Amino acid sequence: TIGAIGYAAYDIYNKRHPFEQKSFDPTKRTIVLLGTGWGAISFLKKLNTDDYNVVGINVKRFLSVLADVVISPRNYFLFTPLLPSCTVGTIELRSIMEPIRFITRHKSRNVKFFESECTDIDPESKTISITDVSDIKGAVSNSTIPYDYLVVAIGADNQTFGMAGVREYACFLKEIWDAQKIRTRLMDCVESAGFASQPPEEVNRLLHMVVVGGGPTGVEYAAELHDFLKDDLELWYPELADKLKITLVEALPNVLPMFSSQLIQYTERTFKQNKIEVMTKTMVKEVADKEIKVLKANNEMVTIPYGLLVWATGNCPRPLARKLMARIKEGQTSPRGLLIDDYMRVVGAQDMYAIGDCAFSRYAPTAQVATQQGKYLANIFESLARIEEGQNKKIAPFEYTHQGSLAYIGSDKAVADLPFLNGNVSVGGVATYVFWRSVYISYMFSFRNKFLVLGDWTKSKVFGRDVSR
- Give the Cα-Cα-Cα angle 227, 275, 280 (nearest 5 degrees): 110
CA distance 218 to 245: 15
DSSP assignment, residue 431?
A: H
C-alpha 313/C-alpha 345 separation (Å) is 28
C-alpha 298/C-alpha 301 separation (Å) is 9
CA–CA distance, 225 with 380 (Å, rounded to integer): 43
Total residues in contact with ligand NAD, by rule CB under 6 A: 26
Answer with the entry of ligand NAD, ligand FAD, none that 252 interacts with (C-beta below 5 to 8 A by kind).
ligand NAD
Our CA angle for 190, 196, 198, nearest 5°, is 70
Query: Does the protein bind ligand NAD through residue 419 (CB under 6 A)?
Result: no
Residues within window 370-409 making contact with ligand FAD, judged by CB under 6 A: 370
Query: Applying CB under 6 A, which part among 147-155, 207-215, 240-248, 260-268 lies near ligand NAD?
Result: 207-215
Cα 419 to the chain's mean position, in Å?
23
Scan residues 106-165 and list those touching ligand FAD (CB under 6 A): 117-118, 153-155
Q: Are 355 and 43 in contact (CB under 8 A)?
A: yes
**Maximum separation of any 2 CA atoms in the chain, in Å:** 80
By beta-carbon proximity to ligand NAD, the closer residue of 59 and 255 is: 255
217 near ligand FAD, rule: CB under 6 A: yes
Q: Is 250 in the site for ligand NAD (CB under 6 A)?
A: yes
Tell me the CB-side half-sphere exposure of residue 457, using CA atoms within 13 A. 14
- Window 17-56: residues binding ligand FAD (CB under 6 A): 34-40
- Judge contact between 73 and 61, C-beta under 8 A: yes
In this chain, which of 12, 241, 252, 385 binds ligand NAD, going by CB under 6 A? Answer: 252
Distance of closest approach, residue 174 Cβ to ligand FAD, in angstroms: 5
Cα separation, 383 vs 157, whole angstroms: 32
Partner whose binding site includes residue 39, from ligand NAD, ligand FAD, none (CB under 5 to 8 Å by kind): ligand FAD
Is 317 an interacting residue with respect to ligand NAD (CB under 6 A)?
no
Which of ligand FAD, ligand NAD, none interacts with 154 (beta carbon under 5 to 8 A by kind)? ligand FAD
CB of 460 to ligand FAD, least distance (A): 18
By CB under 6 A, name the one of 213, 307, 337, 374 that touches ligand NAD: 213
**Residue 180: CB partners within 8 Å, gap ≥ 6?**
65, 69, 71, 93
Give the one residue of 11, 357, 417, 456 binding ligand FAD; rule: CB under 6 A: 357
How does DSSP assign 438-458, residue by residue? HHHHHHSS-HHHHHHHHHHHH
Task: Name the residue with the smallest CB distance to ligand FAD.
Answer: 37
Residue 288 contacts ligand NAD per CB under 6 A: no
Q: What is the CA radius of gyration of the chain?
A: 23
- CB 80 to ligand FAD: min, Å: 3
Binding mask 254-273 for ligand NAD (x = CB under 6 A): ---x----------------
The 3-class SS string of 325-362 reads HHHCCCCCCCCCCEEECCCCEECCCCCEEECHHHEECC
Question: Rule CB under 6 A: is residue 212 a binding residue for ligand NAD?
Answer: yes
CB neighbourhood size of 53 (10 A) = 21
Residue with smaller CB distance to ligand FAD, 206 or 415: 415
89 binds ligand NAD per the rule CB under 6 A:
no
Contact footprint for ligand FAD (CB under 6 A):
34-40, 57-59, 74, 80-81, 83-84, 117-118, 153-155, 173-174, 217, 318, 320, 356-358, 365-368, 370
Contact footprint for ligand NAD (CB under 6 A):
81, 212-218, 220, 249-252, 257, 283-284, 312-315, 364-366, 405-407
